[in-house]
Amino acid sequence: MAPPHTLIFRHPEGPRPAFPVRPVFLPNAGCPGKCIYCVQEVQTGRAALALGDIYEHLRRELDRAAAAAHAPFELGFYGGTFTALPEDYAARFVALAAAYKQGGPVAAVRCSTRPDAAGLPLLRELAALGLDSVELGVQSFDDAALAASRRGYDGAAARAACEAVREAGLNLGVQLLPGLPSLPSLPGHAPEAFRRDIEILLEIKPGLVRLYPCLVIEGSALAAMHDRGEYAPWPLETAASEIARALPPLWRAGVRVARLGLAPQPGLLGKIKAGPWHASLGSLTRGRALYAMLAQSLDGRRMNALRLPRRYQGELFGFGGELIEPYARLGLKTANAKPWDQAHFALETA
Ligand code: SF4
């Protein structure tokens, strides 16, 4: 009998972020209107507040964190169109956060905004004040999906905004919303369009991507379209398999995939009328992506045993153990998969 061979596999995902993000929610602040899928109060679990109140609350919170010598965190302004906030609030918020950077609790500052509100002069001004990263709510680079979703910009404008963020010296993040409606046939944009979006991302190589499959949330214009039979969201299986397919190439390109699906904010679950909701979409898709990569590296061989970095222990056999059987078909029993403190995987093959 031939001796077993050991294959080495290195997971292409980069290191975890150095600092946790502390979010500051600004629901719909600065938005030119309401996008058809968006109900920020439900998605963020926060009611809209006056910007002055949020500013004062944040200032007190940062004072307290500084006084307590709190471990550093990244401050993230989310839930609105940050670069279109009225009364110069974008600059005021960034300047406030930046004042707590030197020796204080704020390690970095990020914000999210729309591509059509990301003008280079303002981005440069905010970068000079201390902004580090901008996440663009691109949603899709597909013109038909953007038009059907009435986003008000096209794919070329979204790409130009990505360039502007980089030109301003800022780190770029991109948020995508797979499964948006699409013209000419409104029901959900085809998986092919999402695959093209991923190809574009692989060219642009943002530092970070968030993928939020499009959900039908009560109170949104999309919910009314859904009621009229004009929109059908992706089934969960489509979202899960498309995202699992997208992860390995993104990781290999050095793109960090941060958030998979909406965070389960209080009140969100009861408001989802339809769509690919899963509380553990991250674990579901990451497990499948890892399985695909390990199976590919086996290249037809059978795997008797596996040593794996502890970081991946929880997701190896998939959400709810859905991958136990597929791994068994590759030759791997659950008892023969053991975590270790190395950074690589070792696959013992027959
Ligand atoms: S711009 Fe963003 S936050 Fe504002 S309504 Fe549209 S999706 Fe919601």
Percent of the chain with pLDDT over 70: 93
| Residue 90 clears pLDDT 60, i.e. is over it | yes
In angstroms, the CA 332 to CA 323 distance is 11
pLDDT for residue 268 = 78
Which of 52-61, 178-187, 225-234 bottoms out in mean pLDDT, i.e. has the lowest?
Answer: 178-187
Q: 């029993």: which residue's tokens?
A: 333
Q: How far is C-alpha 225 from the chain's CA centre? A: 25
Query: How remote is the CA of residue 331 from the centroid of ligand 1, in Å?
Result: 48
- Nearest residue by C-alpha to atom 8 in ligand 1: 38
* Ligand 1 touching residue 38 (CB < 6 A): yes
Query: How remote is the CA of residue 334 from the centroid of ligand 1, in Å?
Result: 44
Query: How remote is the CA of residue 182 from the centroid of ligand 1, in Å?
Result: 18
Query: How remote is the CA of residue 151 from the centroid of ligand 1, in Å?
Result: 9
pLDDT for residue 267 = 73
- Nearest residue by C-alpha to atom 2 in ligand 1: 80
Which residue, 37, 26, 29, 28, is CA-closest to 76?
A: 26
- pTM, 2 dp: 0.92
Q: Which of 35, 41, 112, 217 for a ligand 1 pocket mutation test, highest count of atoms within 8 Å of Cβ?
A: 35
Which of 73-77, 205-209, 219-223 bottoms out in mean pLDDT, i.e. has the lowest?
Answer: 219-223
Query: How remote is the CA of residue 207 from the centroid of ligand 1, in Å?
Result: 22
In angstroms, the CA 168 to CA 166 distance is 5
Query: CB of 184 within 8 A of CB of 228?
Result: no
The predicted-structure confidence for 255-275, as pLDDT tens digits, reads as follows: 999 977 777 666 778 889 999
**Which atom in ligand 1 lies closest to the alpha carbon of residue 137?**
2
Confidence of residue 311 (pLDDT cuts 50, 70, 90): very high
pLDDT for residue 2 = 45
| Residue 113 clears pLDDT 90, i.e. is over it | yes
* Ligand 1 touching residue 114 (CB < 6 A): yes
| Residue 1 clears pLDDT 70, i.e. is over it | no
Confidence of residue 46 (pLDDT cuts 50, 70, 90): low
Q: Tell me the mean pLDDT in the region 226-245.
A: 94
Tell how strand 208-211 and strand 133-139 pair up.
unpaired
Confidence of residue 47 (pLDDT cuts 50, 70, 90): low
- Nearest residue by C-alpha to atom 1 in ligand 1: 31
Q: Tell me the mean pLDDT in the region 297-322.
A: 96
| Residue 342 clears pLDDT 80, i.e. is over it | yes
**Which atom in ligand 1 lies closest to the alpha carbon of residue 30?**
4
pLDDT for residue 174 = 98
Which of 29-43, 88-102, 184-198 bottoms out in mean pLDDT, i.e. has the lowest?
Answer: 184-198
| Residue 100 clears pLDDT 60, i.e. is over it | yes
Query: CB of 210 within 8 A of CB of 259?
Result: yes
Confidence of residue 98 (pLDDT cuts 50, 70, 90): very high
Query: CB of 180 within 8 A of CB of 194?
Result: no
Domain at 21-279, CATH class: alpha beta
Domain boundaries of the chain, sorted by first residue: 21-279, 289-349
Query: How remote is the CA of residue 59 from the centroid of ligand 1, in Å?
Result: 25
pLDDT for residue 279 = 87
The predicted-structure confidence for 50-78, as pLDDT tens digits, reads as follows: 899 999 999 999 999 999 989 999 999 99
